[in-house]
Each structure stands twice: as structure tokens, then as C-alpha cells.
Amino acid sequence: MSIPPRKPAPLRQANQPAQKEEAHKINHRIDSRDVRLIDATGNNVGVVPTRQALIMAEEAGLDLVEISPDAKPPVAKILDYGKFKFQEQKRLAEARKKQRVVEIKEIKLRPMIDDHDYDVKLKAAKRFFEEGDKVKVTLRFRGREMDHQELGHKLLGKVKADTVDIAKVELEPRFEGRQIIMILAPKSTK
């Protein structure tokens, strides 16, 4: 069984930069016959032939940018494309800055946990809620502790009661093998 030879990748000209797809069509790249034109001052001119819109943009010393390509006819605006791209990048960066990924932090407990250890774990959970994260409380049983599951449920009830003002139960306590799992989410501050 013979393997066919691989075709080499097409070579790019040395003086040609890699083509990057622009987000908006500008000037002569706009391929529709007519556009709904918005002039440089923001006034709606109406539906005009693309050729006429290009002439108006050249006279103003600006670019014709297709803003809404899905509209019938597409919406184009006369503006400075460099400034427009800068504003778009700035707006996207601001939006990314405001995004927050909610993480699930885990706190592990044992049924016979000491009071001080419990307080330390609870303090950590409260800190996680303040940061906007969810908390997965895992209560693990070892050996004969499985015979006293009511202690585990009692402890998780105490966790619920101690965090009722800052958190809500997203997943009620349930068994998974030799452990009970409960997920708490921070209450929205809106």
C-alpha cells in the first residue's frame, strides 16, 4: 500500500503581508449597489447609490464604512476608519475588563471538625462569596463515620444557617459515594 505524496503548502509572496479579514467593509470593498447612508455629522441621508456615497466620503476626506451589512440595503457611514477602529478596540477592551468568570471554590469538611477549624473554613467561604465565586462544600466520611450520617447533615445545616445572609443554596446536600456535596452561590448585590 503506497502513500500518496503530500502537496506542499502554497507559498506567499515575500512582499505580501498575511491577509487579515477586516471586521467592516470600507470604501471600494463595499459590494452592494445601494447603501443607507449616514453622513459624517450623524444625519440619515437615506438610500443612495454606493458610487455616490463614495464620492461624498472622498469630498469629506473620510472613509465610507459598512456598519450593518445584514440590513437591506446595508447601512454605511462616512467616518474616519482609523478612529472608528480605535474606538471599537477600546470598547471591546472595556467589555473584557468588566467580564468576570465565576469559579467554584471548594471547602472540605469532616463530620467531627473542631469549632476553630470550622470558623476558619467559614471565614474562607465568606471571602469567596465576597469575590463573587461559588463554594462547593464537601463533607467527607471515613470508616465508621458513615454510621453517623446525621452528624454530616447537621454540620451542613449549620453551614447553611451561618451563610444565609450572604449566600443561597444552589445545590442541596446530596451523597456522592462517601461524601456529601452542597454548592452555595453568593446572593446578588443588585
Number of domains in the chain: 2
> Quick one: pLDDT band at residue 189, thresholds 50, 70, 90?
low
For the chain, give the mean pLDDT. Answer: 81
Position 136 scores a pLDDT of 92
Residue 5 forms part of a structural domain: no
The three-state DSSP-derived secondary structure of 105-156 is: EEEEECCCCCHHHHHHHHHHHHHHHHCCCEEEEEEECCHHHHHHHHHHHHHH
pLDDT at 58 over 50: yes
> Quick one: pLDDT band at residue 74, thresholds 50, 70, 90?
confident
Range of the domain at 42: 27-96
> Quick one: pLDDT band at residue 18, thresholds 50, 70, 90?
very low
Position 79 scores a pLDDT of 84
Residue 75 forms part of a structural domain: yes
| 104-109 vs 134-140, strand pairing mode | parallel
| Chain-centre distance for alpha carbon 157 | 34
